[in-house]
Each structure stands twice: as C-alpha cells, then as structure tokens.
Structure 1
Amino acid sequence: MGLLGILLGLALLMWLAYRGVSVLLVSPIAALVAAAFSGEPLLAHWTQTFMSGAARFVAQWFPMFMLGGLFGKLMGDSGSISSIAQYLTEKLGTKRTVLAVVIASAIVTYGGVSVFVAFFVLVPMAHEMFRAANIPRRLLPATVGLGAFTFTMSVMPGTPSVNNAIPMPYFGTTTFAAPGLSIIASAIIFIFGMWWLGRAEAAARKAGESYAGDADIAPVVTEKVREQAAPAGDFDPAELPHGKRAESGPSFAMAALPLIVVIVTNFLMSLFIFPRLDFSFLSSEQWGGTTIGAVSGVWSVVVALAAANVTVLLINLRRLPSLRESLDAGANSAALPMLMIASLVGFGAVVAALPAFATVRDAVFSIGGGPLVSLAVSMNVLAGLTGTASGGMAIVLNAFGDDFLQLAAKHGLDPELMHRVTTMSAGTLDALPHNGTVLLLLQISGLTHRESYLDMVMTVIVSCIIALVAVLILGSIVGSF
C-alpha cells in the first residue's frame, strides 16, 4: 500500500499541475496522500517533514533566485537584450536568421538572464526576423529553445542557471564542473540542433511553405500557463509586463558587458579567490558546521549576479524609465517559482521519509550500468514526470545525493562528472509536452504543440539525449576533464 500511495501521489501531482492547479496547493496534497497510504501521521509529515524540506531549499537558494530575477528584469527593461539581438541580426543578415536567433538566445541566457525574460523580449523580435526571411514561424519555438534552454541551461561550464547550481552543495562542485565534457556536449547539442533546423528550413522552402502569419504578436501570459510555467523556471511570468522598457538600448558592447561580468566574476570566485581564502570558521555550529567546498559554488554565483546587477544599473541608470518598478518586479519574480520548487522538494522529503521508499531506493540502485546510469535514469524520470528540471533534480538529490556521492567515491568517479551528468540528465525529458517552459514559449509565440512541438523535440530533447549518451561514454572511459 505504501508504494501505491507514492505512485498515486506522484500521479496526482502530475495531473493537477498540468491542469494549471498551483503546485503550492498540489504538492502538500500529493504528499499527504502518499503518507496516508503508508499509515503515517499526516499533520506531522506536513509541518515537520514537508515544511522542513521546503524551508531548507528556500534558505539555500533565495539569494540566487532574487538576484537572478533582478538581473533578468533589468537587462530586459534597459533594452540590453534587444540591443544584443539587433546587433547579431545586422551582422549575420537575413540569410542567417535562424543562427542569429539561436546565438542571441544563447548569449543572454548563458550570461544569467532568465529564459522567461529572454522569451518575452526575443520572441517578438524573432517573429519579425522570420517574416523578413520568409521562414515558417512554426520553427520559431524550436529555434529559440535550442539557444535558450539546452546547452546554456545545464551543460555549458559556468552557466549561472539554477539548474547548473543545484548539484553544487551535494557534490562540492562549482558551475564549471567537468569543463571539457561540458564543451563537447554543448557542441553536440548546437551542431545537431542547427542541422535539424537547417534541414527543416530547406524542406519548408522546397515545399513552398512561407512565414504565413502575423508577426505583430504581443506576448501574453494566461494565469493557467503562469501556474504551469513557474515551477519550471526561476522567474514569475506575471512580472514580465511590470515596469517600463527603455525606448532605446545601450550599444552592443555595453549591453553585453553585464553578461561578461557574470561569467568572469563567477570564474574568478569559483576557481581562484574562494579556494585561496581561509574559511575554517565555517565548521563551527554558528555557521551550520559546513565547509567552503559546500558553499563556494553558491557564493560564487551570488557574487557574480550581484556584480552584474550593479554593472547593468551603472550603465543604464538614466535609461531605465521606471527603476523602482523594475526592481520591485525583478525581486517579486523570484518568490513564486522558488516556493513552487521548494514545495516539490517538500513532497520529495515526505516520500523519502516513508517506509515504502526503501523499495524505490532499491529500484534506483539496481539499475545496471553503474552509478552514472542510475543517476541519469533517475534524473530523467523525475524531471520528466514533474515537468521541471530543477524540481526533479532537487527531489532526487535530496533523497539520494549522499548515496550517489558515496557510490562515486566507491567507483572512483569524480564528483564533477556526477554534477555534469546530473544537470544534463535533468535537462532532457523535462521538456515533455507538459513542461512549463515549453507551454510558455508556445503561448508567447502564438503557436500550438501540433504546429511546433515535433521540431522542439528534436532541438531540445533528442539533441540533449545524444549529448548525454556521449558524456556517459566518455566519462566512463576517461573520467572527468
């Protein structure tokens, strides 16, 4: 009965979340259903187990969510994202429209801008570019998706996304984990995705297919899609229209400077500054009895985002038409997605505390192929079922993080390899049709699953699976590099 309760709770979570019911409400209900089937005390699990797990997530990740939300909003309202996209369009020309959109999406998201903010700014511009190049607009979501939430979300070394940060405290790593493997995997995703898009564009032209639509699409986010999207990202879509956007953006160099600040600062803090400082005081109970290895990755990203926020403000202080509203919207944007992911973590904490969870644990570690394969499969399954890479990742690592770290040591596997397999695995099947990021991108683009999802499958799922397989093979043969 206990195992049936866990499966029923997970099914309930998936079904209600897909229908747009708030995860804040769904997660505790699903957790209590699982606990009830196990005959466990419900109130104790809600207030002690569920809330403790959720609170730990909020305490650990609130600074990063808030600073990331601020950064994305300031970059959008200052016109910096538009300036980057316009510059690339002018340089690459109409004949390379697809490449321009992919690169623009990749640059801004690799620099720390939320994918949701990128969608809101880039999608309307991409529509204009696709119409000018007479490329079928059904290919637009697959193009933006390839640049915005594949290799820059969970693969490229140093990307400051939440998905690349969550494994750090568990494995004592940084966002630059396994840089060689990360670059190879990113190249595979990019090359395969561009090949598919080029093939699809050529086939469409041969068939006489044109843009066929209205490019003047104003991005709108419904409340249902907001509830579906928020757990899959780090920015509340409802805050996207708040604040005012600058009439004209900075130059390309000034627009890109904050993004460079994020990457460079993160790199210096992660690999040079924090490792050389004395943080022995962290071992005392006052600071949670931790080590610098467990927190340096998070601290590095936080410092990098803080520095980038200061940079974008200094560059655009007179350009931002409503600074207070932009700051308020950026800060508020962090609350809902953070609490929703924390609620998923709370659900996972309750499930992990149930007696029947031992069966789940045995099933995970009985998967053939060693720790890397077990890790990859469990991440794919949970991310796919929950429709969120970060939520699925947090659930698995909270339940099995210590076990996977011990298995890595037993098999002589570098924790950096475990980190990269974790992020890549969570970023594959998370993009199934019910994924909030997919739903939001399609709605903002004014398109449907029937029109655009097949091409998205190829650019944001199949490409990532191919890259993951390559990393698993290389990592098993030569280890991390």
Structure 2
Amino acid sequence: MDVIAIFLSLGLLIFIAYRGYPVILFAPVFAVLAGLLSGLPLLPTYTEVFMVKAVGYVKLYFPIFLLGAIFGKVMEDSGAARSIARGLTQTFGKNQAILAVVLTCAVLTYGGVSLFVVAFAVYPFAAALFREANIPKRLIPATIALGSFTFTMDALPGTPQIQNIIPTAYYKTTAFAAPVTGTVGGLLVAGLGLWWLYRRKNKLVAAGEGYGVDHQNEPEIREGEVLPNFWLSLVPLILVLAGNAVFTYWVLPGWYPDSLLKQYEGLNIKQVLGIWSLILALILGISFAMVIYFSYWRKNKNDSSSYSHSSRLNLAHTLTAGTMGSLLAIMNTASEVGFGNVITTMPGFKVISDFLLQMKTSPLVSEALSINILAGITGSASGGMSIALDTMGVKYLEWANAAGIDPELLHRIASMAAGGMDTLPHNGAVITLLAICGLTHRQSYGDIFAITVIKTLVVPVMIVLALLTGWV
C-alpha cells in the first residue's frame, strides 16, 4: 500500500500538471494524500514536513534564483539576449535552424541566464527560423530544451545554473568539479540530441509536414529595433563565468578569516563557496548588463510601442518582472521539494532507499539512480537532487572515500543525473516552455521526453568511462 500511495500521488500530480493546473497548489494536496494513505497524520505532515522542507529550500537557494532571474530579465530588456540570438541565427541561417537555436540557448544558459528567460528570449527567433525553413513547429520546444535544459545546465564545468551549484554544499566541491567528465558527457548529450532532432525533422518533412498554420502564440519581432553589438552582449555572460571562477579559486577562500566565521555556528566556507561565488558573479554580470540596458533604452526611446519615455519606469518594470519571475520559479521548485520530502518520510520510500544504498556496485551508480528517481517524482532536477543529497549525501561521500572515488566525480554525476527524468509532464520548466511556444504536451512532449532519455542514458556511460579511465 505504501508503494502504491507513492505512485498514485505522483500519477495524480503528473495528470494535473498535464492538464495545466498549478503545481504550487496541487503538490501539497497530493503530498498530504500520499501521507494519509501511508498512515501519516494530515496536519503534521503538511506543516512539519512539507512546509519545513519547502522553506528550507527557499532559504538556501533564493539568492541564486532572484539574481539569476534579474540577470536574465536585464539581458532580455536590454536587447542583449536578442542580439546574441539574432547574431547566431543569422550566422547559421535557415538550413541549420536547429543547430542555431541549440547553440543560442547553450550560450545564454552557460552564461548564467535563467532557463525560463532563455525560452522567452529565443522563441521568437526560433519560430522565425523554423517558419522560413518550413520545419514543423512542434520541434521547437525540444530544440530549446536541448540547448538549455541539458548539457549547459549541469554537465559542462563552471555552469552557473543551480543544478551545478547544489552539490557544492554537500561534497565541498566547486562549480568546476570533474571538468573532463562533464565536458565529454556534455558533448555526448549535445551530439546525440542533435542527431535525434535532425532525424525527427527529416522524417516529418519527408511525410509532408511543414511548419503548419493557425498556431497559437505566434511571435512578432519588432522591426527597426536597434540592438546592442553582438560581442558587447556577450560580455555580461563572460563576466558571470569568469567571475565565478575568480571568486571560487582566488578571492573567497581567503576573504573571511576563520576567527570571523566562528560566530556563525556550523558555517564551513567550503559548503557555501559555490553559492557565494555565484552570487558575486551574478552581481558583476548584472552591473555590466545595466550599462547595456541604459544604452539600449537611449537608442530606442522613440519606439513608443515598446518603451515609455521614463527610464525609471522601465527599470522598475524590469526589476519587478525579474523578481516576480524568480518567485514563481523558486516556489514551484520548493513545492516539488516539499512533495518529494513527504514521499521520503513514507515507509515505501525507505524500502527504495535501502535497496539503493545496499546495491553491490559503485556509489556513483546508486547516487545516479536515487537522484534520477527523486527528480522524476518531484518533477524538478534541483528539487530531486536536494532531497537525495539531504537524505543520502553523507553516506555517498563516505562510500566514495572508502572506494577511492574523487568527490568531484560524485558532484558531476549527481548534477547530470538530476537533469534526466526531471522533465516528466509535471516539470515546471516543461509546462512554461510549452506555454511560451503555444503548443501542448500532446504536440511536443514526445520529443522533449526523447531528449530526456538521451540525457539519462549518457550518465551510466560516463560512470563507466570515468571508472575505467580514471577521468575526473
């Protein structure tokens, strides 16, 4: 009954999300339902498990969500994101529309722009390219997902996305952990993902399917817009990446003396180094992006259709929109974290976790399986990984040390595994992406899921290669 309760609540959450209902509302409803079916008391389960874990997640990672969303919104409203998208798409042209969209998303995501903002910024250019090349529109979501939800989100070393930052607090690593494993794994995911998308495109076009007509949410690109210089637009992204490395390796480790940190009970600089470094790097990126923002406004101030004549009002709108976007993103994820943590308190989950920990195999395999399972249950890569590492992170680290496995490898496999089965239909990013593109799960989810499967299958390949070759 306990195992049935887990799958029943998960199935209901997926169904509700598939139908377009808010996860923030229904995640606690189905979490409590699962608890009741397993004999857990209703109100304590909600207030002392669901809410405590959800709030704990917000406490840890809200600065990253907030600054990341503001950075992305400033990049969008300054025209910098559109400049990068236009520059890359014009370079590759309509014959390589899929590659151009994937690379555009990859550049923005690896530079620190929020996954949600990337979808908003790239979609208009993706739609224009796909329409011109007569490629079926239903492939756009999977194309954007490959560029922003996979190899640049958690595989490539140094990526500032939250999925690459969370393991630093558990394994005392940095965002640049296991660079060889991450780079090789990222290239595999990108290559196989592109193979799938081009294969699908050729098959659909051969069957006579084109871009299609009467689509929802078709974008209109403003004519006459004066965009920032392409290379200048890349500078904020470079500052985030380079700043993250500088703060991680050269600045923060010796910034605060131990005598000062002692007053904060339980604080270990290695546990917060990844988060602190990214906070400072994002502030650096935002500062330069603001310079581009005001320059862009001055050049386009006569465009009354898009901007008012008050820079103060424009800035207020930009910062407010970025802040509100961060609240939606983190509350969606926190609700899924709360849901997943309720599942972990159930007897049925203990059976699963005991099995994973007692597997006579590598800690890397056990870790990858547990994180992938929890990412699927919660519909969140960061949420599933947080729960798994909260529950079993210490044991995985002890197991890895005993087996002579570098903690950096634990970090990289954890990040890559989290970005696997997280993209089930109730995933917030998937729901948002489909809404932006004006498409439904029925039209486009199959190809998104295929990209997810590719990402998931690459993880065991990387584990085997790393163990055989000694890569880190």
TM-score by length of 1: 0.86
The answer to whether the 8 Å contact 1:188/1:467 transfers is: yes
Question: Which of 370, 395, 403 matches 2:387?
Answer: 395
Question: Which of 430, 452, 459 matches 1:461?
Answer: 452
Q: Aligned AA for 2:226?
A: S
Q: CA deviation at 1:111?
A: 0.9
The answer to whether the 8 Å contact 2:174/2:248 transfers is: yes
Number of residues of Structure 1 aligned to a counterpart in Structure 2: 456
Give the corresponding residue for 2:292: 315
Are 1:293 and 2:270 an aligned pair?
A: yes
Question: Which of 405, 413, 427 matches 1:413?
Answer: 405
Give the corresponding residue for 2:229: 251
Aligned partners of 2:153, 2:407: CA distance in 1, in Å?
19
Trace 1:226-237 onto structure 2 (pairs within 5 A): none
Give the corresponding residue for 2:363: 371
Aligned partners of 1:473, 1:269: CA distance in 2, in Å?
33
Residues 273/456 of structure 1: CA separation in 2 closer, same or farther (3 Å cut) = same
Question: Which of 306, 309, 319 matches 2:283?
Answer: 306
Are 1:339 and 2:317 an aligned pair?
A: no
Are 1:107 and 2:107 an aligned pair?
A: yes
Residues 193/250 of structure 1: CA separation in 2 closer, same or farther (3 Å cut) = same
State the Cα deviation string for residues 119-146 of structure 1 (Å, max 9, x = none): 1221121111122223232332222221
The answer to whether the 8 Å contact 2:31/2:342 transfers is: yes
Residues 8/288 of structure 1: CA separation in 2 closer, same or farther (3 Å cut) = farther
Q: CA deviation at 1:70?
A: 0.3
Corresponding residue SS for 1:317 = helix
State the Cα deviation string for residues 441-477 of structure 1 (Å, max 9, x = none): 233223344443443333x223313421221112222
Q: CA deviation at 1:211?
A: 2.7
CA RMSD of aligned residues (A): 2.8
Residues 256/293 of structure 1: CA separation in 2 closer, same or farther (3 Å cut) = same
Q: CA deviation at 1:352?
A: 4.1
Aligned partners of 2:190, 2:371: CA distance in 1, in Å?
22
Aligned partners of 2:223, 2:327: CA distance in 1, in Å?
22
The answer to whether the 8 Å contact 1:79/1:245 transfers is: no
Aligned partners of 1:367, 1:249: CA distance in 2, in Å?
55
Aligned partners of 2:59, 2:24: CA distance in 1, in Å?
17
Q: CA deviation at 1:28?
A: 3.5
Give the corresponding residue for 1:228: none
Residues 316/197 of structure 1: CA separation in 2 closer, same or farther (3 Å cut) = same
Residues 319/245 of structure 1: CA separation in 2 closer, same or farther (3 Å cut) = farther
Mean Cα displacement is larger for which, 133-142 or 421-430? 133-142
Aligned partners of 1:302, 1:468: CA distance in 2, in Å?
29
Corresponding residue SS for 1:81 = helix
The answer to whether the 8 Å contact 1:393/1:426 transfers is: yes
State the Cα deviation string for residues 273-314 of structure 1 (Å, max 9, x = none): 223445424652x32322111000011111111111111002
The answer to whether the 8 Å contact 2:78/2:293 transfers is: yes
Runs of at least 5 residues in structure 1 that lack an aligned partner in the other structure: 221-243
Aligned partners of 1:21, 1:448: CA distance in 2, in Å?
13
Mean Cα displacement is larger for which, 332-341 or 262-271? 332-341
Q: CA deviation at 1:5?
A: 5.1
Q: CA deviation at 1:43?
A: 3.8
Give the corresponding residue for 1:386: 378
The answer to whether the 8 Å contact 2:216/2:439 transfers is: no
Give the corresponding residue for 2:137: 137
Aligned partners of 2:447, 2:349: CA distance in 1, in Å?
38
The answer to whether the 8 Å contact 2:159/2:241 transfers is: yes
Corresponding residue SS for 1:138 = helix
Aligned partners of 1:470, 1:341: CA distance in 2, in Å?
28
Are 1:478 and 2:463 an aligned pair?
A: no
Aligned partners of 1:14, 1:347: CA distance in 2, in Å?
12
The answer to whether the 8 Å contact 1:38/1:354 transfers is: yes
Give the corresponding residue for 1:262: 240
Are 1:452 and 2:429 an aligned pair?
A: no
Corresponding residue SS for 2:320 = helix
Runs of at least 5 residues in structure 2 that lack an aligned partner in the other structure: 298-306, 308-313
Q: CA deviation at 1:52?
A: 2.8
The answer to whether the 8 Å contact 1:173/1:415 transfers is: yes
Aligned partners of 1:245, 1:57: CA distance in 2, in Å?
43
Give the corresponding residue for 2:396: 404
State the Cα deviation string for residues 379-423 of structure 1 (Å, max 9, x = none): 221222322212222222222222222222222221111111111
Q: Aligned AA for 1:259?
A: L
State the Cα deviation string for residues 32-53 of structure 1 (Å, max 9, x = none): 4444455555444443343332
The answer to whether the 8 Å contact 2:367/2:396 transfers is: yes
Q: CA deviation at 1:27?
A: 3.7
Aligned partners of 2:278, 2:447: CA distance in 1, in Å?
33
Aligned partners of 1:65, 1:150: CA distance in 2, in Å?
18
Trace 1:134-173 onto structure 2 (pairs within 5 A): 134-173=134-173
Q: CA deviation at 1:18?
A: 4.3
State the Cα deviation string for residues 355-392 of structure 1 (Å, max 9, x = none): 66543331221344321111111122122232221222
Mean Cα displacement is larger for which, 275-284 or 157-166? 275-284
Aligned partners of 1:202, 1:447: CA distance in 2, in Å?
21
The answer to whether the 8 Å contact 1:137/1:213 transfers is: no
The answer to whether the 8 Å contact 1:105/1:148 transfers is: yes
Aligned partners of 2:420, 2:157: CA distance in 1, in Å?
17
Q: Aligned AA for 1:343?
A: S
Give the corresponding residue for 2:320: 328
The answer to whether the 8 Å contact 2:353/2:370 transfers is: no
The answer to whether the 8 Å contact 1:258/1:309 transfers is: yes
Mean Cα displacement is larger for which, 247-256 or 431-440? 431-440
